[in-house]
Amino acid sequence: MAGLPHNKMALDPALVRLGNMIQNRYKYFRWTKRTAGITLVYVAIIPGIIGYLGYNNDGLWDFRAKRRGDTVYER
């Protein structure tokens, strides 16, 4: 009983191919205009916008120890 291959299933060739493609993606990557543009957006532009908004709103809102009628706006 021990050591027998129970519940052996046939592997789906499409899933095996997908798994191999995901594991070896770095081998076939190429820089194109599209990949460079997407990388620029996700590495520079979006973090820059979030940083700019965070820097401008730093200390502007205070949500701690507020009572009814008090404003959360600090300027």
Structure confidence by residue, pLDDT tens digits, 16-69: 999 999 999 999 899 999 999 999 999 999 999 999 999 998 877 776 777 777
Rounded CA gap, 27 and 24, in Å?
6
| Over residues 1-7, mean pLDDT | 62
Domain residue extents for the chain: 30-75
pLDDT at position 57, please? 84
**Local confidence band at 1 (pLDDT 50, 70, 90 cut-offs):** low
Cβ burial of 65 (10 Å; 0-12, 13-18, 19+) is exposed
7 pLDDT higher than 90:
no
Band (75; pLDDT cuts 50, 70, 90) = low
pTM for the model stands at: 0.57
**Helix (DSSP H) and strand (DSSP E) numbers for the chain:** 3, 0
Whole-number Cα distances in Å, 14 to 24, 45, 63: 15, 36, 52
Tokens 């979030």 correspond to: 50
Rounded CA separation 24/17 (Å): 11
